[in-house]
Amino acid sequence: MLKLLLPILLLFLVWNCKKDKPVNTPPVNLPFNYSSLEVNGKFSGFEYKGVSNNSVIKVAFGSVLDQSSAKTAISLTDKNGTALPVNLIFVNKDSAVTIQPASPMSFLSAYLLTVSSTLKSKAGGFLITPVTVKLTTAIDSTDKFQAITSDALLTLVQKQTFKYFWDFGHSVSGLARERNSSGDVVTSGGSGFGMMAIPVAINRYFIARGDGLIRAQKMVTFLKNKAQHFHGAYPHWLNGATGAVIPFSPNDDGADLVETSYLMMGLLTLRQYFDGSAIDETTLRNDINELWNGVEWDFFNKDAGNKLYWHWSPTKNFVMNMPIQGWNECLITYVLAASSNTHAISKNVYDNGFARNGAMKNNGSYYGYQLPLGEAYGGPLFFEQYSFLGINPAELTDAYANYWQQAVNHTKINFEYCKQNPRKYYGYSSQCWGLTASDIKDGYTASSPTNDQGFIAPTAAISAMPFTPIESLQALNFLYYKLGDKIWSQYGFVDAFNLDNGWFADSFLAIDQGPQIGMIENYRTGLLWKLFMSSPEIKTGMKNLGFQGPNL
């Protein structure tokens, strides 16, 4: 009997002990948070650039997840907000989930991974803090086009880019549209660059000489008989059908002397190229001379002062009051003004106005390269490329600089800056470089090492071909072979791109397309340098300003 009572007594004691202790029931509806994040096995915040297009994202949480809610709470969307199918694998006893796109993401594209606060735990709680991860996929390293020789690639770029001016030139005036979306808006300066492309196209057999002459005469006739101009100078923008001024800004509704200088550089280049004795070529030269001699450069030296001014309005005069001062893209303006047969400026205007009596000097060193002129790090690359499209800087000097050193070192500073990439933009490298003025996302800016927002413009490195041929050819090969599916199109390369956020322009600008054609040719044959520098007025004018060099 005792043997039976002992087990019963023991059970009774155990039961009483348990009854006195609290019961640990699982909490209900307790909110939870994520505990860790990894993209391809690494954590570096909530933004990842250059990731694989098959990336695996793992997010761990502080509670066991309700799998059904995860399927709706977790999403991967592209830049347009379109959701991509994803595969979810629950691990760590359902407290973590790995997320992978069901099919590869596109290369060089932006995506957003979101884990919303609708994610539930098995206990019924909700995620406290949503998780948002920005992803930008890497460059596709495969070649997009069949390999060709460097010489053939240079020709291809010139030929395709020339189509912007030839096939897309305004049907009435023949002048260059400001950009591919500008309708009747044509640009004076961009048209000058397009004019300089005509001799290149003829010599490269893209067009016949006779066809080039007809187009040149069409533009010249429009400028002579239809286009509005003021004291011989043309506005920044014109209506390509009517010739009326299209204001660039409220006070910029008249003459733009800098844009006019690019136009005149183009016209003089055409004049020197079409040197035949036939009546059609003689007529073209005579008409160009009339336009050239009609520019009243000294009028823009307002009040007989000591500098040129950029703008003049027929209703507001010099209200913009913007002096043309260096160092920048306006060297050509002072060279042409000093070279005029009819309205020349004196050397004093150049020294005081553009050179600022030596204040345009820099002589600092950046990345080991001495910079003779200009702002810190040199500024955008178009500072040299526009003027030196016609002016040959080889062995060119004056009291202020060696201009070949200026052009080469400015470009190499720009190259080294992009190569070293102090702002850590994805994609910058010795093959992907070049900061200059271009379209950017939602705007336009003059990119430079001191104004770097992550946008590379193909024109920057390509138009630097004479100054940095090795670096520029590297860039050209990268742009064409590696990024060609994104940026190579009917008129050559698009205006700009940003690999850091997967943005690619769909625009083409005349002032960016033109220098590519001409500067490639100057690298290959020096054609435009030979033509422009053969102008007797230019030789005289530059000598009068104090320039020295073998091409004068």
The reported pTM is 0.91
Q: How far apart are CA 401 and CA 391, in angstroms?
A: 15
CATH topology for 34-137 is Immunoglobulin-like (2.60.40)
Q: How confident is the model at residue 242 (pLDDT cuts 50, 70, 90)?
A: very high
Asked whether the predicted pLDDT for residue 3 surpasses 90, the reply is no
Q: How far apart are CA 154 and CA 477, in angstroms?
A: 10
pLDDT of residue 79: 87
Mean of pLDDT values over 183-194: 98
Asked whether the predicted pLDDT for residue 5 surpasses 80, the reply is no
The CA distances from residue 420 to 53, 367, 380, in Å, are 26, 10, 17
- φ/ψ of 545, rounded to 5, equals -85, -5
Asked whether the predicted pLDDT for residue 16 surpasses 80, the reply is no
Mean of pLDDT values over 431-447: 97
Asked whether the predicted pLDDT for residue 25 surpasses 70, the reply is no
Q: Which CATH superfamily is domain 150-544 in?
A: Glycoside hydrolase 144 (GH144) (1.50.10.140)
Q: Where are the domains of the chain?
A: 34-137, 150-544
Q: How far apart are CA 547 and CA 281, in angstroms?
A: 31
Mean of pLDDT values over 380-408: 98
345-386 per-position pLDDT tens digit: 999 999 999 999 999 999 999 999 999 999 999 999 999 999
* Residue type present at position 405: Q
CB 510 within 8 A of CB 190: yes
pLDDT of residue 151: 98
pLDDT of residue 375: 98
**% of the chain exceeding 90 in pLDDT:** 93
Asked whether the predicted pLDDT for residue 23 surpasses 50, the reply is no
Nearest to 41 by CA among 33, 52, 30: 52
315-344 per-position pLDDT tens digit: 999 999 999 999 999 999 999 999 999 999
Q: How confident is the model at residue 14 (pLDDT cuts 50, 70, 90)?
A: very low
Asked whether the predicted pLDDT for residue 536 surpasses 60, the reply is yes
pLDDT of residue 2: 39
106-131 per-position pLDDT tens digit: 999 999 999 999 999 999 999 999 99
Burial code (b: 16+ CB inside 10 Å, e: under 16) for 103-135 equals eebebbbbbebebeeebbbeeebbbeeebebeb
